[in-house]
Amino acid sequence: MSVLVVVDHDRGILAPATLGTLTAGRNLASAMNTTMEALTIGANADPLNDTLSAYGASVVHQAHHEILVDYGPDAWGEVVAQVVRATSPQVVLGCGTERGHEIVAQAAARLDLPAVMNCTEFKPSNSPDGVLTLTRTRWGGSLLEKAELDSPIKLVTLADHSIEPVESKVISRVIKFVPTLDASVTHSIVRNRVERIAGVTLATSPVVVSGGRGVGSAEGFAPLEELASLLGGVVGCSRAVTNNGWRNHTDQVGQTGTRIAPDIYIACGISGAIQHWVGAMASKNILAINIDKEANIVTKAGYAVIGDLHKVVPAICAEIKRRRGDS
């Protein structure tokens, strides 16, 4: 019986969210009169033991297997499920990161248990298998919901940045665990990495020119690329665009993409659905270009041009070039 924290790390580099998750796990364990244990997956996690003991993990379960050389959601989820079956924790707590959510969701499906993501608070009841009262964020953080989880083992993730990490050193015992894994867990696994080119990114650029379904095709982004380049910015997009395969997911703005806060956000042919809006709403200025004057993004933007983006964007580019004296 314990609170088991699933450590998020990338080949031995700890995800910053793990420290807050360990702190929350320790607080929860203490409220439940039990201990906090940690689970690391992959041989390259060995160097993390000192940090895990500094943050109060009384046991570090280390899962080693030749398949676990890099991250794979099925493989990591299966490892968590096997460790849960072997050690019967009361609570499994994952990080509120993309990987953390993925691993806990995978484990929950394999254990046939519910999982609650993005919690900000946990209140245990007095009995060991009683309900866990939770506060969790919904709708991209715009709503806080109180919920009760009464499954025999509670699988949850902690919303990122919801607690300040605090050290509390204990002496940790390391227990090696060798899971039984086969090729069925390697459907999706990281096999290759391409370094991002240095420079401004979607998350840091002061100008983002974003396109939505209204752009119509991958080729339709050429004028948006030109406008972004003239303004020293980068191109973003909506999920309709990534779903259509017109651009990579790395360009997506929103709840399941990147949250941005540029000086100016130019949204072309984007309706401004809530899931997109939560990723763009921190922009300091928004210009919407849309044929629909009732579109959500138009009603929220500081500036709007009601018109066809295929005419408006080239016209803006031409005017910028004319004013700069470009030919």
- Interface with ligand FAD (CB under 6 A): 212-214, 238-240, 252-257, 269-271, 273, 275-276, 279, 289-292, 295, 308-310
Nearer to ligand FAD, 64 or 213 (CB): 213
Least distance to ligand FAD, CB of residue 217, Å: 11
CB-nearer residue toward ligand FAD: 91 or 312:
312
Q: Which is nearer to ligand FAD, 44 or 244 (CB)?
A: 244
Number of H helices, E strands in the chain: 9, 16
Q: With CA atoms as reference, report the closest residue to 236 among 222, 244, 226, 247.
A: 247
Q: Least distance to ligand FAD from the beta carbon of 134, Å?
A: 20
Cα–Cα dist 70/189, whole Å:
7
- Nearest 10 degrees: CA dihedral of 110, 111, 117, 120? -150
Shortest separation between residue 54's beta carbon and ligand FAD, angstroms: 35
CB-nearer residue toward ligand FAD: 300 or 310: 310
d(CA 144, CA 283): 23
Contact (Cβ atoms closer than 8 angstroms) between residue 266 and residue 289: yes
Give the nearest distance from C-beta 252 to ligand FAD in angstroms: 6
d(CA 157, CA 273): 26
User: What is the spatial distance between Cα 19 and Cα 290, in angstroms, rounded to a whole number?
Assistant: 43
* Shortest CB 73 distance to ligand FAD, Å: 17
Q: Using the Cα atoms of residue 199, residue 203, residue 205 and residue 208 in order, give the sign of their dihedral.
A: positive
Nearer to ligand FAD, 179 or 236 (CB): 236
Q: Find out whether 46 and 7 touch, Cβ atoms under 8 Å.
A: no
Length of the chain: 327
SS3 call for 11: coil
Q: Cβ closer to ligand FAD: 75 or 237?
A: 237
